Amino acid sequence: MFEYFYHEILRRTIISFGTLFNNISIQKKDGSDNTVSNLKVPLAYGPTQKFLARLEQEPDLNKSTSLSLPRMSFEFTSLTYDSSRKLTSTRTIQVKDPNTNRTVKKVYTPVPYNMTFELSIMSKLNDDALQIVEQILPYFQPAFTLTVELVDEINEKRDVPVVLENITMQDDYDGDFTSRRVLLYTLRFSAKTYLFGPVSKAEPIKTATLTYLSGDKAKSKRETQYTVVPRAIKDYDDSVSTLLAEDVDLEEYVWLVDDGTALSADAYYEINGEEIYVKAIDGNKITVERGRDNTTIKEHVKGQPIKAITAADTALIEMGDDFGFDGTTTNFF
């Protein structure tokens, strides 16, 4: 039932959430309202209790190695299914393979989940904490949207709303003189993300077969089978066979080329975006059918390259390109 896959969606959402708060700073001013220092507030991932315990257990708070305030920490606390955003589970997302552009990658509709985060703001001074909080709250009304690349294989990017759920404040000012005061603001957020399943690859259809039955089953039956195979209608690998030896207008079907031996009868070629079919070759003169597979008939000038359309070009057909068919019919009695 299950197969290994890992899109790193949860990890990417956690990292994206953290980047929202990695450029917050506070300013210190003197009595004349002049800025004397500008401090960038450190941000780390981890539970608040870990940082508070370190503050309490530091034997010498005057050491430069002690934990400095203010600082912030954030933590991913829970993951819950969001039924309000549920989509039909049998639907699929299909995209062209961004690497080859010749195959299709498919994944089922993602599952909506809410990721809960807690952002903790720790400060010794109330003014420092207020500066930090005021730089955050105006962006959440009550949501701020992040754009996260969820699945690399299909270049799937989604807008993930981050909703501010609530705010709590705690001031541990009651204590003895050896205790370090900590103002603690806790902001609770919910990120509405999506989880994708495994990505499968679908190859383009190489052959299509149609079987037609006619006649009375009790007496006689005739079966006709028609098979078609896709083929390229333009040159992909720049395989030049020969050059046009004279100008050609829109009405000409007998052309003069530099080297007729480089071409083959009953074969397809491309010249300046027009697909032609070479019916016959007489020396350096060729008889062609023009504008095959709905390509545009154009005027061509002397020296333009005539490029062969081969099986190698068919293998290079990109998703979304036009293509033609070669067909065979078989009758069974």
Of the residues 166, 182, 201, the one at which a domain ends: 201
> Is 102 in the same domain as 240?
no
Domain CATH for 30? 3.30.2000.40
Residue count of the chain, please give it: 333
User: Does residue 72 form part of some domain?
Assistant: yes
Do 142 and 190 have their domain in common?
Answer: yes
Q: Tell which residue, 170, 186, 172, 168, has the closest CA to residue 55.
A: 172
Residue-wise pLDDT tens digits, 145-203: 999 999 988 888 999 999 999 999 987 665 554 555 678 899 999 999 999 999 887 66
Does residue 150 sit in the same domain as residue 286?
no
Q: What is the helix (H) or strand (E) element at residue 115, kind and residue range?
A: strand 111-123
Considering the domain architecture, whether residues 273 and 143 belong to the same structural domain is answered as: no
48 pLDDT more than 80: no
Q: Which domain holds residue 91?
A: 9-201
Phi-psi region of 258 (alpha: psi -120 to 50; beta: other; left: phi over 0): alpha
pLDDT at 6 over 50: yes
Task: Looking at the structure, tell me whether residues 166 and 285 fall in a common domain.
Answer: no
Q: Is position 234 within any domain?
A: yes
Residue 318 lies in a domain: yes
Report pLDDT digits (tens) over 202-256.
666 666 676 766 655 545 556 677 776 778 888 888 889 999 999 999 999 999 9
255 C-beta neighbours (distance < 10 Å), count:
22
Within a domain: 245: yes
Q: How many domains does the chain have?
A: 2
